Amino acid sequence: MTWDEWSDFQKLERSKAHSGERSGDVLYAKLLWCCEDKHYLTSKACQQKFKDKVKYSCEPSSSKQHACRKSIWQHHIENAISSCLHDVLERTDLSDPGETAAEQQLNALIAKTERETKNMRDNLYTHAWDEAAKQELDKHDEDLEDLLERRAERSALRATVTAVKSQIHAWGEFYGTLTVDEKKLLLHATIQWIDVDFARETATVHWTFSEATAKIDLKCERTQSRKRILTSQQASNDEPVAGECGQVVAAGGFEPSTLRV
Ligand SMILES: [Zn+2]
């Protein structure tokens, strides 16, 4: 499946599902996580001076909850995240259906639940009827259904990531021409969550399709972002300066990449 086919399909599915709540240009809703306070950052589309800029901040959702109230700007991290996504996609072999650790676990759990369900059903129908055993069997059947659904979701996700990877040869151009909705689809399909560590000024991206993580230096990205804004104001040079602070951290047998976007 190509990106276009996949994206068209997703849009169709979404328009069928619900009218959808629009939240401006918020790309990382429910993806950025405050490490210290252990909850998601709240997104805000800013007005006036910072028009069309999006900020994510650590806000308490109740009076009892602790929140550091620190924040992060979307335009400071978007380039680095896109660049790291390119990097990790390039290094991940999606054609090899080799199971990740999580998939192995899931498959083992499915096999075990299937065996148990079969045994319970056989027992129930060959021995005297037992209401408690019947209830336990029903519970097991439900669990099995959930697990199979989870496996189906994972394989749909793999198709999505494959569609995204088909665009990797001209990544900057591809990413740059996406609409906000397409970017949201892409980011939510590829990113599991992003740990934001305000004390160390780092963000760590966890992907859906790889055990590798990407570490982003937030201080460095802030500087890069300011440079980009200055450069575009001067309009003298539109060469991208992205990605110098993002680094894919090897895990699960990957070699550290030498390629920077
Ligand atoms: Zn916090």
Q: What is the pLDDT of residues 207-234, one digit of tens each?
A: 988 889 999 999 999 998 888 888 877 7
Closest CA to 111 of 143, 156, 155: 143
Q: What percent of the chain has pLDDT over 90?
A: 46
Provide φ and ψ at 37, rounded to 5°: -95, -5
pLDDT beyond 80 at 100: no
Confidence (pLDDT) at 118: 94
Q: At 158, which amino acid appears? A: R
Higher pLDDT, 261 or 216: 216
Q: What is the dihedral of CA 95, 101, 102, 106, to 10 degrees?
A: 100
Tell me how far apart the alpha carbons of residues 251 and 249 are, in angstroms, rounded to a whole number.
6
**What Rg, from alpha-carbon coordinates, does the chain have?**
22
Q: How far is the CA of 143 from the centre of ligand 1 (A)?
A: 35
Q: How far is the CA of 34 from the centre of ligand 1 (A)?
A: 5
Q: How far is the CA of 35 from the centre of ligand 1 (A)?
A: 7
Q: How far is the CA of 36 from the centre of ligand 1 (A)?
A: 5
Tell me how far apart the alpha carbons of residues 125 and 208 are, in angstroms, rounded to a whole number.
42
β-strands 32-34, 191-197 pairing: parallel
What pTM does this model have? 0.71
- Sheet with 42-45, strands from edge to edge, namely 42-45, 54-57, 71-73
Q: How far is the CA of 207 from the centre of ligand 1 (A)?
A: 22
Q: What percent of the chain has pLDDT over 70?
A: 79
Tell me how far apart the alpha carbons of residues 256 and 250 are, in angstroms, rounded to a whole number.
6
Q: Is the distance from CB of 175 to CB of 168 less than 8 angstroms?
A: no
Confidence (pLDDT) at 235: 64
Higher pLDDT, 96 or 93: 93
Tell me how far apart the alpha carbons of residues 157 and 208 are, in angstroms, rounded to a whole number.
8
Confidence (pLDDT) at 245: 63
Q: How confident is the model at residue 51 (pLDDT cuts 50, 70, 90)?
A: low
Q: Is the distance from CB of 261 to CB of 172 less than 8 angstroms?
A: yes
Q: How far is the CA of 183 from the centre of ligand 1 (A)?
A: 26
Q: How far is the CA of 58 from the centre of ligand 1 (A)?
A: 5
Residues with C-beta atoms within 5 A of ion ligand 1:
34, 36-37, 58, 68
Residue at token pair 């068209």: 8
SS3 call for 73: strand
Q: How far is the CA of 63 from the centre of ligand 1 (A)?
A: 14
Q: Is the distance from CB of 49 to CB of 66 less than 8 angstroms?
A: no
